[in-house]
Amino acid sequence: MKKLRLIAGVLALGLAVTACGGAKVEDDSNAAPSAAGSAAASAAGTVKIAVNPWVGYEADAAVLAYLMEHELGNKVEKVTLAEEPSWQGMESGDVDVVIENWGHEDLKKKYIEEKKVAVEAGSTGNKGVIGWYVPEWMAQKYPDITDYKNLNKYADLFKTSESGGKGQLLDGDPSYVTNDEALVKNLKLDYKVVYAGSEAALIKAAKQATDQKKPLLMYFYEPQWLFNQVKLVKINLPAWEEGCDSDPKKVACDYPPYDLDKIVSKKFADTGGKAYDLVKNFQWTNDDQNAVADDMTNNGMSAEDAAKKWVEANTAKWQAWIAK
């Protein structure tokens, strides 16, 4: 009995301390080591940038982090996360910035319109393309392979130990934006989607397919530095039209052209000050991103060194992003 009373007392005390309103999830960003500039807008606080798992995204994040740390005096925390959990992070207070968002209309509806915990912060200037690719030598050897209607004819070429007797369509990280399983089903293709697990695994497969002339059909995307090294040819899927991909189970058309954009948490938009302005103004080209990504991947540079190199070579560009 004594114990019960004690527990009740502790509970009551706990409730009283937290002002008896119950706790909402975003409250904890106050408790976290580093609220995103929760004080005045001028105070350069900590910015939590989500880092999604592909190098193009990391390049964006690297340059942004470099500028925040060296020009604005913010502290930057990079939170390694997949795309959709990053949106959840804006609700829970673990993420302030998603710097390269690929579409995700459903998430925009949920987190921006309904929950009102995130806001859009404009285009990054990068044009995104998603599609299916084969190495160039295959397109030369089998000229009609680039039409999806002929893929079944060549399915045997793409068989592997993992594809269960069908042709293999190699996909990347399970967290990427993809309609491939629905496409294979709805276009009646004799293929199986096999997940390589990461961007690097896709790149490795593309390099091997080119060097060793091994057949390969894979999911890939631009901007990507690999296109400067390895020639890949895109397969023509049924053309994309507005709304043809609105039901993810019934998709039978190509991926839309993506205008990659930035999403920030509501809290960061309200209190982020100069750091928020920098995110909003950040805009560059696919070539810019590829240059930084290439340095990070192939020239043995750390993210910070690669960002530094780009920043020093492109002063005019980034100075326009920083609010006076």
* Contact pick of 71, 84, 136, 277 for another protein (by CB under 8 A): 84
* Contact pick of 37, 67, 76, 94 for another protein (by CB under 8 A): 94
CB of 40 to another protein, least distance (A): 22
Decide: is 16 part of the binding site for another protein (CB under 8 A). no
Confirm if 190 and 166 have CB atoms less than 8 A apart: yes
- Determine the interface stretch with another protein among 73-81, 227-235, 253-261, 270-278 (rule: CB under 8 A): 73-81
Q: Which CB, 85 or 122, lies closer to another protein?
A: 85
Question: For 231, phi and psi rounded to 5 degrees?
Answer: -90, 120
Question: For 167, phi and psi rounded to 5 degrees?
Answer: -75, 150
DSSP per residue, 247-263: STTT--SPPPPEEEEEE
Decide: is 107 part of the binding site for another protein (CB under 8 A). yes
Sites for another protein among residues 34-63 (CB under 8 A): 53, 55
CB of 216 to another protein, least distance (A): 12
Confirm if 255 and 130 have CB atoms less than 8 A apart: yes
Size of the site for another protein (CB under 8 A): 54
C-alpha of 269 from chain center? 20
Decide: is 12 part of the binding site for another protein (CB under 8 A). no
Element (H, E) at 280: helix 274-281
* Contact pick of 82, 313, 320, 323 for another protein (by CB under 8 A): 82
Residue 13 identity (one-letter amino acid): L
Q: Which CB, 28 or 147, lies closer to another protein?
A: 28
- Determine the interface stretch with another protein among 21-29, 143-151, 227-235, 313-321 (rule: CB under 8 A): 21-29
Decide: is 2 part of the binding site for another protein (CB under 8 A). no
Confirm if 169 and 184 have CB atoms less than 8 A apart: yes
CA separation for the pair 50, 305 (Å, rounded): 19
Confirm if 118 and 264 have CB atoms less than 8 A apart: yes
Parallel, antiparallel, or unpaired for β 118-135 and 258-265?
A: antiparallel
- Determine the interface stretch with another protein among 64-72, 102-110, 222-230, 236-244 (rule: CB under 8 A): 102-110
- Produce one character per residue of 80-115: b if its CB has 16 or more CB atoms within 10 Å, e if not: ebebeebbbbbbebbbbbbbbbbbbeebbebbbeee
CB of 180 to another protein, least distance (A): 12
Q: Which CB, 236 or 298, lies closer to another protein?
A: 298
CA separation for the pair 266, 276 (Å, rounded): 11
Sites for another protein among residues 146-185 (CB under 8 A): 161-162, 164, 173-175, 181
* Contact pick of 37, 89, 135, 215 for another protein (by CB under 8 A): 89
Closest Cα to residue 75, out of 29, 37, 124? 37
Residue 32 identity (one-letter amino acid): A
CB of 197 to another protein, least distance (A): 5
CA separation for the pair 69, 82 (Å, rounded): 24
Decide: is 112 part of the binding site for another protein (CB under 8 A). no
Judged by the rule CB under 8 A, the positions of this chain that interact with another protein are: 14-15, 18, 21-25, 27-28, 31-33, 53, 55, 77, 79-85, 88-89, 91-95, 106-107, 110, 161-162, 164, 173-175, 181, 194-201, 204-205, 248-249, 297, 300
